[in-house]
């Protein structure tokens, strides 16, 4: 009899400790009150089950009332939703970084023809900019603010196109690299502008 009381009290103490730990881990949201109710029912069940089994002579089996496989599938679903959310956050972060860098370059009176930004996806240094590849040209408006008459346009095969943008000098590219490096904390060796076409 003493052994039964000892195991019963241990079960109650373990149930209370588990319930307390779960309540501490839970975030404060709308579902907390429901989880607290379930924890309370679990503790009451732990207290009552030895009494009911000693009176009836049967043990209480709740498995017919609870579908554990449904619980496991919802956990899998939640894990998939979290993984998909993480991917979407990464895409949004990369998109915002690209847009921010493009705006910064355009504020320096350059036109961005193409921009590719790579970020670190490993645990250490996660989200840091690893590499920037950009193709830029000078804006026409920054060179000349007066309105000029329209030049005659010639269309032909194999002729050089009428350049709206002029090539950027190496000195200006180095200044732009320094500007990006200082503003975004990227090593200047990892910034490539007009290098590979």
What is the structure's pLDDT at 68? 56
Instruction: Please report whether residue 73 resides in a domain.
Output: no
Answer for the pair 97, 117: CB distance below 8 angstroms, yes or no.
Answer: yes
Instruction: Please report whether residue 154 resides in a domain.
Output: no
For residues 62 and 118, the model is more confident at 118
Q: How far apart, in whole angstroms, are the C-alpha atoms of residue 116 and residue 131?
A: 8
Same domain, 26 and 62: yes
Q: How far apart, in whole angstroms, are the C-alpha atoms of residue 130 and residue 39?
A: 47
Structural domain of residue 177, as residue ranges? 87-144+164-193
Same domain, 60 and 95: no
What is the structure's pLDDT at 39? 86
Same domain, 105 and 17: no
Which strands sit side by side in the sheet containing 191-193, from one edge to the other? 110-119, 129-138, 191-193
Same domain, 47 and 112: no
Instruction: Please report whether residue 157 resides in a domain.
Output: no
What is the structure's pLDDT at 163? 47
What is the structure's pLDDT at 65? 61
What is the structure's pLDDT at 196? 47
What is the structure's pLDDT at 164? 44
Single pTM value for the model: 0.49
Same domain, 38 and 128: no
**Structure-block tokens of residue 39:** 């924890």
Answer for the pair 51, 11: CB distance below 8 angstroms, yes or no.
Answer: no
Structurally, the chain folds into a number of domains equal to: 2
Cβ within 8 Å of residue 114, ≥6 positions away: 133, 134, 135
Q: How far apart, in whole angstroms, are the C-alpha atoms of residue 108 and residue 72?
A: 55
Same domain, 54 and 126: no
Answer for the pair 133, 162: CB distance below 8 angstroms, yes or no.
Answer: no
Same domain, 94 and 187: yes
Instruction: Please report whether residue 42 resides in a domain.
Output: yes
pLDDT, one tens digit per residue, over 1-48 is 678 778 888 888 888 888 888 888 877 777 788 888 888 888 888 888
CATH number of the domain enclosing 118: 3.30.300
pLDDT, one tens digit per residue, over 63-122 is 666 555 655 555 666 777 787 888 888 888 888 889 998 998 888 888 888 888 888 888
pLDDT, one tens digit per residue, over 123-163 is 787 888 888 888 888 876 545 555 667 766 666 665 554 44
pLDDT, one tens digit per residue, over 152-196 is 666 666 555 444 445 678 888 888 889 888 888 888 888 888 764
**Structure-block tokens of residue 167:** 């090539």
What is the structure's pLDDT at 126? 80
- Consecutive H or E run containing 173: helix 170-184
């Amino acid at each position: 009899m003493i052994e039964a009381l000892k195991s019963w009290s241990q079960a109650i103490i373990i149930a209370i400790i588990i319930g307390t730990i779960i309540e501490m881990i839970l975030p404060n949201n709308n579902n907390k009150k429901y989880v607290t109710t379930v924890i309370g029912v679990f503790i009451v069940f732990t207290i009552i089950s030895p009494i009911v089994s000693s009176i009836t002579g049967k043990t209480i089996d709740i498995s017919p009332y609870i579908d554990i496989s449904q619980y496991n599938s919802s956990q899998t679903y939640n894990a998939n939703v979290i993984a998909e959310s993480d991917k979407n956050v990464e895409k949004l972060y990369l998109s915002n970084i690209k847009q921010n860098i493009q705006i910064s370059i355009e504020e320096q009176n350059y036109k961005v023809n193409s921009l590719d930004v790579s970020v670190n996806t490993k645990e250490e240094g996660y989200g840091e900019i690893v590499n920037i590849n950009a193709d830029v040209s000078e804006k026409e408006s920054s060179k000349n603010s007066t309105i000029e008459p329209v030049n005659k346009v010639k269309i032909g095969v194999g002729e050089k196109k009428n350049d709206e943008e002029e090539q950027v000098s190496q000195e200006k590219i180095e200044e732009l690299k320094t500007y990006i490096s200082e503003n975004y904390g990227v090593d200047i060796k990892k910034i490539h502008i007009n290098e590979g076409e």
